[in-house]
């Protein structure tokens, strides 16, 4: 009889700090694996604590609680398949990122992460000690090599595992999403498979944690890089994969292959998951936002409706004397198409009251940006009052272009607890609205069809803080601005490189100056879903006070 090994892949959504809840998820997966006759159920990196824990894992009491939870899980799941689960481990005074194997009521092995990532959103070298390169672990008939996440991005750990007798590679991950990340992962894992000649299981978690979204999309490869299983992106899944002993070694048998989303759908799904989990894991079930009749707030309203359901989203129009009739109509049309509640709270009265209060001090000065910002701050005040009164998290709606150059008002339109479009440039906002109008998926809780009227997408953007105002009065056209920002922010290019590619020298210098001057605003801004490798926060850490300017273009 041909020897087989059934491995259950648990692509699940843990919550940072919820040890009991995460263990309950693991136990439920183990029960399903036992019912399916599996030999082992595998969970992801740092599953018991959730990921990323950041400095929470430096609390020794937290680590001890996590280790005790894993040992209780082992005792509770003695009769059935083995469990592989990620969690911290104290070895003397060294804190390790570990992967625990549980079988027969006890811990049978613990593998420690060797390569600690220290770039982009990761800072593991300040949290963990590096483990020694290790050999495989036996589970039933199989010798399983376990390179933890970053260990699989380098050849040495996998090569050592193959040389010391591993028959398959299991890679437990906490790998966050950024655009085109899946292709990067698959290409690297194909390289590891070609180098070692072993089947490889890439198991990734799903769900949102702060600004990061873990996109799942786990997969299984056979030697020569043949794809044998592909789990869905951004959704939980429990899949049983069978391995069979052959004359050439163990091989994965075919399992379901789920089609992966294109880049537009992936970004949109990431924003929905990021918002849903940030609210849900923070204890919120409802959201509100200022719906201006513009494109940014319309997209945030659509994302919120898809994440929470239209009935859980309150939209608020806050008109002033400068608000156009079109904006009132467009806000109403968006709320109506989405099925969200729309309230209206005018700010003319509060604006007059503030003007009267400050009048004696402002006497003799010309109206300008100060008066414009008062309007934005009054809106922020009123929206925060509604948030406090009704327990609805306020969403802020500034796109990456605005956040980059500070075209936003601190304590005004920047007020809020979360910003799903924070890492989406304005030009992509336009395209994302068109994508959402043309597509609907089962994971969307909002309605199908045209939920953002074309007039909202096509009209010139305006903050409507003074008569006839347009964004391009203060900024370059968004197509130009975004191309410059992608160079300065996403690729860290010099001003000279951008000028050499044809951009106007004065415009590049102005944009760079605005980026540096706005660092303090971004430091105080709400978190938002990370979509790129250079999102504002952990990916890009600049000083708030900085007198250096790039003069290479001069």
Q: Catalogue the active-site residues.
A: 45, 113, 149
Which CA distances in Å does 146 have to 42, 88, 389, 446?
11, 15, 50, 41
Burial class (CB in 10 A: 0-12, 13-18, 19+), 272: buried
β-strand pairing of 219-222 with 200-204: antiparallel
CA separation for the pair 79, 196 (Å, rounded): 34
On whether 296 is known to bind a ligand per the annotation, the reply is yes
Q: Which residues have a Cβ under 8 Å from the Cβ of 102 and sit 6 or more positions away? A: 70, 73, 74, 77, 82, 83, 84, 85, 108
On whether 144 is known to bind a ligand per the annotation, the reply is no
Nearest alpha-carbon partner for 316 in 351, 276, 345: 345
On whether 297 is known to bind a ligand per the annotation, the reply is yes
On whether 415 is known to bind a ligand per the annotation, the reply is no
On whether 290 is known to bind a ligand per the annotation, the reply is yes
On whether 373 is known to bind a ligand per the annotation, the reply is yes
Nearest alpha-carbon partner for 210 in 181, 186, 174: 174
On whether 291 is known to bind a ligand per the annotation, the reply is yes
Structure tokens at 331: 């806000």
Q: List the beta bridge partners of residue 111.
A: 99
Residue identified by tokens 């003074």 is: 466
3-state secondary structure of 41: strand
HSE of 77, CA atoms in CB hemisphere, 13 A: 32
On whether 387 is known to bind a ligand per the annotation, the reply is no
CA 400 to chain centre: 15
On whether 281 is known to bind a ligand per the annotation, the reply is no
Contact between residue 236 and residue 11 where contact means Cβ atoms under 8 Å apart: yes
Four-residue CA torsion sign, 461, 459, 318, 338: negative
Contact between residue 484 and residue 498 where contact means Cβ atoms under 8 Å apart: yes
On whether 175 is known to bind a ligand per the annotation, the reply is yes
On whether 292 is known to bind a ligand per the annotation, the reply is yes
Structure tokens at 470: 């347009």
On whether 518 is known to bind a ligand per the annotation, the reply is no
As annotated, the binding site for deamido-NAD(+) includes: 373, 402, 521
As annotated, the binding site includes: 175, 181, 290-297, 373, 397, 402, 521
As annotated, the binding site for ATP includes: 290-297, 397
As annotated, the binding site for L-glutamine includes: 175, 181
């Amino acid at each position: 009889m041909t020897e087989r090994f059934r491995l259950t892949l648990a692509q699940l959504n843990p919550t940072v700090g919820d040890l009991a809840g995460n263990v309950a998820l693991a136990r439920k997966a183990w029960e399903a694996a036992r019912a399916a006759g599996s030999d082992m159920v595998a969970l992801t990196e740092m599953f018991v604590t959730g990921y990323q824990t950041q400095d929470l894992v430096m609390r020794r009491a937290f680590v001890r609680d996590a280790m005790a939870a894993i040992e209780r899980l082992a005792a509770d799941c003695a009769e059935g398949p083995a469990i592989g689960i990620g969690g911290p481990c104290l070895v003397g005074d060294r804190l390790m990122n570990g992967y625990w194997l549980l079988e027969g009521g006890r811990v049978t092995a613990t593998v420690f992460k060797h390569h600690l990532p220290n770039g982009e959103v990761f800072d593991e070298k300040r949290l963990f000690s590096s483990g020694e390169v290790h050999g495989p672990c036996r589970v039933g008939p199989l010798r399983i090599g376990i390179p933890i996440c970053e260990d699989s991005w380098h050849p040495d750990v996998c090569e050592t595992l193959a040389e010391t007798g591993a028959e398959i590679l299991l890679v437990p991950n906490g790998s966050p999403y950024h655009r085109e990340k899946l292709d990067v992962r698959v290409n690297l894992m194909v390289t590891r498979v070609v180098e070692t000649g072993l089947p490889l299981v890439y198991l990734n978690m799903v769900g949102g944690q702060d600004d990061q979204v873990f996109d799942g999309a786990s997969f299984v490869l056979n030697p020569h890089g043949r794809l044998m299983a592909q789990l869905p992106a951004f959704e939980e899944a429990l899949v049983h994969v069978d391995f069979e002993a052959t004359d050439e070694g163990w091989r994965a048998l075919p399992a379901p292959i789920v089609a992966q989303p294109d880049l537009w759908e992936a970004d949109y799904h990431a924003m929905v998951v990021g918002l849903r989990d940030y609210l849900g894991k923070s204890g919120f079930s409802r959201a509100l936002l200022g719906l201006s009749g513009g494109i940014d707030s319309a997209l945030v309203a659509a994302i919120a409706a898809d994440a929470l359901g239209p009935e859980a989203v309150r939209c608020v129009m806050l008109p002033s004397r400068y608000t156009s009739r079109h904006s009132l109509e467009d806000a109403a049309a968006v709320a109506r198409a989405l099925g969200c509640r729309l309230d209206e709270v005018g700010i003319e009265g509060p604006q007059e009251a503030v003007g009267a209060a400050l009048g004696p001090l402002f006497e003799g000065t010309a109206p300008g940006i100060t008066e414009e910002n008062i309007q934005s701050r009054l809106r922020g005040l009123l929206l925060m009052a509604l948030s406090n009164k009704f327990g609805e998290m306020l969403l802020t709606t500034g796109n990456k272009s605005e956040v980059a150059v500070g075209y936003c008002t601190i304590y005004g339109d920047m007020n809020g607890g979360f910003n799903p479009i924070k890492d989406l440039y304005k030009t992509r906002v336009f395209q994302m609205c068109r994508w959402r109008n043309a597509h609907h998926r089962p994971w969307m809780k909002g309605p199908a069809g045209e939920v953002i009227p074309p007039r909202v997408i096509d009209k010139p953007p305006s903050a409507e803080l003074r008569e006839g105002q347009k964004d391009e009065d203060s900024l370059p056209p968004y197509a130009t601005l975004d191309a410059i920002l992608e160079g300065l922010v996403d690729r860290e290019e010099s001003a000279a490189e951008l000028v050499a590619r044809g951009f106007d020298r004065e415009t590049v210098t102005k944009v760079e100056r605005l980026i540096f001057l706005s660092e303090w605003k971004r430091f105080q801004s709400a978190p938002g879903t990370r979509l790129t490798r250079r999102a504002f926060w952990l990916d890009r850490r600049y000083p708030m006070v900085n007198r250096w300017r790039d003069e290479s273009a001069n």
